[in-house]
Structure formats: C-alpha cells, structure tokens
Amino acid sequence: MDAADRCEQIISLLTLSSCLPVSPSLLQPTPVILLKEGTDTSQGIPQLISNINACQVIAEAVRTTLGPRGMDKLMVDSRGKATISNDGATILKLLDVVHPAAKTLVDIARSQDAEVGDGTTSVTLLAAEFLKQLKSYVEEGLHPQTIIRAFRTATNLAVSKIKEIAVSVKKDDKQEQRELLEKCAATALNSKLIAGQKEFFSKMVVDAVMSLEELMSLKMIGIKKVQGGALEESQLVSGVAFKKTFSYAGFEMQPKRYENPKIALLNVELELKAEKDNAEVRVKSVEACGGSIQTSVGAMTDDVLGQCELFEEVQVGGERYNFFKGCPKAKTCTIILRGGAEQFTEETERSLHDAIMIVRRAIKNDSVVAGGGAIEMELSKYLRDYSRTIPGKQQLLIGAYAKALEIIPRQLCDNAGFDATNILNKLRAKHAQGGMWYGVDINNEDIADNFVACVWEPSIVRINALTAASEAACLILSVDETIKNPRSTMDGPPGGAGRGRGRGRPHAH
C-alpha cells in the first residue's frame, strides 16, 4: 500500500468519526443539585423589579390615609373584629403581609411608630416612592451599589439641612414652650378622626405629658375607655383612676370622698374578682401613692401605708370609677375617654398615643419644622440644586431622591381633591424665591406659610422618617436573589408527627 492509499484511508476514518453522534453527557457538565426539590429561586434584575412592585402595592394601601383630608380604612381580621384606623402603622400591622420584601416597609412603619409615634404613613410612602423613582435606573442595568451610595449621600445632606433650618424653641419661657407643644400635638391630631376636637385634646395631651416626671414613661399615662357620652366629656385625672365599686354591706351609707386618706395595699382576696384587675390596681397604686403591698393586716404601721390628697368614687357613664388624686410619689395621670362606638374610642386612643409620643419628643428635642409638605419641598429644592453641582451618575440619582420627596405634598393635595400639579408648581416657584416654610394649605386649596399657620412638627420626626425610608429602600435594592424553601409536606411541627392530644391507647393487659 503506497502513501497515497494510506492518506485516503486516514481521511475516510476521520470523516466517519466526525459523523458519529457524540454523547451529550460528555459535552455538558452534570448539574449539581444543591437545594431541595421544589425550592423557588429567583434572582437578578427581574427579582429586584418584583420586590419594588411589591413595595408599591403596600404604599397603595396607606396612600390615601395621609394628611388632614385622608380617608380611613376598615379592616376585619380572621375572627371578624373590625378596626377603623387612619394610622399607617396600625393598618400595616393588621394587613397580613407575606411578601418578604414588602415586610420591610411594614417594619419601618412599626419602628417609626415606636420611635416617634407619628409619621408612619409618610415613612412608608417615602420608601416606596424612592424605589419607584429608581425603577427605571435598575431596569437599565445601573448597579444597585451605585444607587445605594448616592442615596446615603443624599440622606446625610437632607438630615444636616433639616438640623440647619429647624427652629429651636426656648425652654425657659414655660408659656411659650406650652404653646409650641400644643401646636405639635394639634398637628399630629390633624389627620386623625378626632381632628374636629384637636384643640380640646391637644391641651389634654400636653397636660398629661407635663404632669409626668423627667423620664416621661408612657406607662405612667393610663388610658381608660368608657362607652357612651360625647368626646368632649373625656377627662384627664391627675392621679390613678380605675373601675371598681364598693361592694360590702352598708356601703351606700359610707362617704364616697375622703381627703388625705391612708391607703393600705393588701394582697388579700377581699372580694371575688378577676385577679388581673386587682393586681393592676395594686401595682398602679404602689407606683403612685407609695407604701408597700402587705400580705396580712397584722402590722399596719405608717411606713407601709400609702397616701394621697383626695380619694373619691365617681360615676362615669355606666361605670363607677375610683379616683386617687394628688399622689405624692409618682407623677401619674389617667385619661378617661368617652365616645359612641367601640371602634371610635379605640381609634381615639391610638390618635392620642401618637400625640403623646410627639409631645414627649418635642420636649426632649426642642427644634421644630413646618409640616404640610413644606420641609419636603425645601429639601427637594436643596438636593436638586446640589445635584447640579456634581458630575456623573450621582447627579441623576440625587435628582431622583429630590423628586421622590415631592410625594408628600403631592399626596396631601390628591387626598384633599386639589390639583396637585398646579399646587406643586406654585410651591416650587415659592421655594426657589426663598419661601422655605411654604407648604400645602388644605383649607383654601392654595399654598401658605405653614410656620406662620402653626403647622409644626418636631424635626426629629422628619429626620427619623427620612433615614428609615432611605435605609429600607437601600436594603431592598441590595437584595438580588430570593430563595424560598418548599413547605414541609407534614403540616405538624417537625418531629411531632403522631403525637396527638388524646389520652393514648389503653394497654392490653
């Protein structure tokens, strides 16, 4: 066989081998199964967009409750209990949110409620609006870390600007401080169900907080609800009040009012009543009237007895209440709320809680800013101006942050049925001319100097809202993958299968 034949043979062999099918397993690496079957994973930009959309839905739920013209929501839980509320934190708490990213917004609303008491709807709206403004940048593939860096810068600038322009109020002049606190309480009550009685309640709230000691513990303000009567019949008792009636033979003949009585606190069942009520009464009385709880009536000396200036039993609605007034030890007070429907008195209690928190904050941090969208418009203008001085992507992102801040005045207008675009244009023009406290005037469908109009709120509320909203937005942006473990097929707790609550099978003897 000569060389030519040999070459031909090799070529035909090569051609044949190239036609043979190659096993796909040789080309593709074997897939590694890492997660349990049924695990749901989603990642990348679509995942981020889906999280942003979920947050938009949460904001939609509370959007219409913002401001003095905000609407209320009626929520019914699984047991059929109805709650009517206007408070962002309460609404979000009652919504059974299952989406993991949307839960972040619920958490910031709760933290805002715990920290400052008011501004829960604002903080949710701001966080959702930040994300909405960023959605287009995320879709275009801008890296989330770039956005987060710009947002952190913008938040720091905004917070320092608030501190710079906030007006501090002198604490020395007690009358002036009191007026400031009443205005802050009235602003907090403006958007609540009881806005019509805000003058009455803001005085009551300020009295209640002023009667506390330095630490201003919320526990020291008791709120009791008595159905029936008008809202204006609510009263503030400077001392301890609780529902209890004298119930022993001949008690009708006894006087119902004692001045400077001695109070014995006995841990003894004198009557058959729920022990929880008795315990609450004893603890409150110890904190307020001094003395100590005794388990027997053997050694009643002066040092174990409490005292107060005045004790009386008073009829409130259908209930009889005991009032201990002028307690020497602790500064406590009790607000007795009256009102028709149960949901109404509960919402009044939540509204007063917000106002009490705001007044406490205003005493501790004595600087205030104008509400009604004024501070947001001023920050928006400041950040927009700042963004034009810097190059690169940061310019666009800080501009987006500035635009997002306008959601508060815009939503205030929408909720009141005003032309939001028109009013925002007026506000932008006014702020550009230096009218830094101009905000939405709800009463006249126009803009007004809200500082002069006494729509004030503590600057700490706004600072907290901005930092919390910005943190939440950054947190949601920094998540790029969600891994959801499959639910267990067994409904019971792990390891508890087969263990019933029954008595077990009788043994065969």
Sketch the domain layout of the chain as residue ranges. 40-169+370-484, 174-271+284-365
Instruction: Give pLDDT, residue 138.
Output: 92
Name which of 503, 484, 474, 376 is nearest 147 in CA terms. 474
**Residue labelled with tokens 């469908």:** 445
Instruction: Give pLDDT, residue 498.
Output: 45
User: Token pair of 478, please?
Assistant: 């920094």
Name which of 320, 345, 362, 316 is nearest 117 in CA terms. 362
| Sign, Cα dihedral of 202, 207, 208, 214 | positive
In our burial notation (b when 16+ CB lie closer than 10 A, e otherwise), range 276-287 reads eebeebeebbbb
Q: In CATH terms, is domain 40-169+370-484 a member of 3.40.50.620?
A: no
**Residue labelled with tokens 């870390």:** 145
> Per CATH, which fold does 174-271+284-365 belong to?
GROEL; domain 2 (3.30.260)
Instruction: Give pLDDT, residue 367.
Output: 87
Helices 102-115, 459-477: inter-axial angle, 10-degree rounding? 160
**Residue labelled with tokens 């007063």:** 352
Q: Under a CB-based contact definition with an 8 Å cutoff, are residues 122 and 465 in contact?
A: yes
Instruction: Give pLDDT, residue 1.
Output: 62
Is residue 194 packed enough to be buried (19+ CB in 10 Å), middle (13-18) or exposed (0-12)? buried
Question: Whole-angstrom Cα distance, residue 129 to residue 407?
Answer: 7
Question: Whole-angstrom Cα distance, residue 113 to residue 353?
Answer: 10
Instruction: Give pLDDT, residue 247.
Output: 66
Name which of 185, 239, 235 is nearest 211 in CA terms. 239
Same fold, 40-169+370-484 and 174-271+284-365: no
322 to 211, 314, 377: CA distances (angstroms): 20, 6, 50
- The per-type count for the chain, helices as H runs and strands as E runs, is 16, 20
Residue type, 487: R
Instruction: Give pLDDT, residue 441.
Output: 92
Q: Under a CB-based contact definition with an 8 Å cutoff, are residues 363 and 252 in contact?
A: no
The rounded average pLDDT for each run of 10 residues, N- to C-terminus, in the chain (509 residues) is 65 54 60 71 82 92 90 90 89 88 89 88 94 93 92 95 88 82 90 88 90 79 88 87 71 79 76 63 72 78 82 84 81 87 89 90 86 93 95 93 95 93 95 93 91 89 93 91 72 47 51
Q: Under a CB-based contact definition with an 8 Å cutoff, are residues 364 and 206 in contact?
A: no
Question: Whole-angstrom Cα distance, residue 248 to residue 254?
Answer: 10
Instruction: Give pLDDT, residue 202.
Output: 92
Is residue 242 packed enough to be buried (19+ CB in 10 Å), middle (13-18) or exposed (0-12)? middle
Q: Enumerate residues 6+ apart whose C-beta is below 8 A from 304.
A: 264, 291, 292, 294
DSSP 3-state of 335: strand
Three-state SS string over 385-419 comes to: HHHCCCCCHHHHHHHHHHHHHCHHHHHHHHHHCCC
Q: Enumerate residues 6+ apart whose C-beta is below 8 A from 188.
A: 117, 118, 351, 354, 355, 358, 457
User: Token pair of 315, please?
Assistant: 């009829």
The whole-angstrom distance between residue 77's C-alpha and the CA centroid of its chain comes to 19
Largest Cα–Cα distance in the chain? Answer: 139
Question: Whole-angstrom Cα distance, residue 407 to residue 403?
Answer: 8
Q: Under a CB-based contact definition with an 8 Å cutoff, are residues 368 and 184 in contact?
A: yes
User: Token pair of 427, please?
Assistant: 């506000």
Is residue 339 packed enough to be buried (19+ CB in 10 Å), middle (13-18) or exposed (0-12)? buried
Phi first, then psi: what are they for 324, rounded to 5°? Answer: -110, 110
Q: Under a CB-based contact definition with an 8 Å cutoff, are residues 409 and 424 in contact?
A: yes
User: Token pair of 195, please?
Assistant: 């806005």
- Count CA within 13 A, CB hemisphere, residue 430: 22
Name which of 432, 428, 412 is nearest 420 in CA terms. 412
Instruction: Give pLDDT, residue 284.
Output: 66
The whole-angstrom distance between residue 3's C-alpha and the CA centroid of its chain comes to 90
Phi first, then psi: what are they for 358, rounded to 5°? Answer: -65, -45
The whole-angstrom distance between residue 214's C-alpha and the CA centroid of its chain comes to 25
Question: Whole-angstrom Cα distance, residue 181 to residue 363?
Answer: 8
Query: Which stretch of DSSP H or E encloses residue 294?
Result: strand 293-294
